[in-house]
Structure 1
């Protein structure tokens, strides 16, 4: 799909309206969150992972408990 999207003013911000075909391709719906990643070619949109916050909390817990081991591995 290669369709131009118009930037619209929304209060003090700006936004774009995503066509339903694009939402279907992203497997996303109105009200859900999208993940945005900056790449060398532009930006990449994807449906946000529902358990991302839980995964990050687990990673932070491991990093806090294994701080010395991770520091040694980073050498």
Structure 2
């Protein structure tokens, strides 16, 4: 467990992430992080984008349905 302190940044509140947490999240300055609410009301901070997964699932569906067409177009 890592304890974080909420601090004021201008008109907003934020937390400073320790270097080891940043390394474990595989993130860096300017990259987005996602705070995901779980069904039990808890939260999870992650660099994983759930919207991106939905887009990739749709792309994989299209690729599998049109595999032959895409193969022909790739020539």
Give the TM-score taking structure 1 as reference length.
0.60
C-alpha separation in 2, matches of 1:48 and 1:8:
25
Number of the residue aligned with 2:9: 10
Larger proportion of strand: 1
Number of residues paired by the alignment?
57
Is structure 2 residue 34 aligned with structure 1 residue 35? yes
Q: CA RMSD in A?
A: 2.9
Give the TM-score taking structure 2 as reference length.
0.60
Number of the residue aligned with 1:67: none
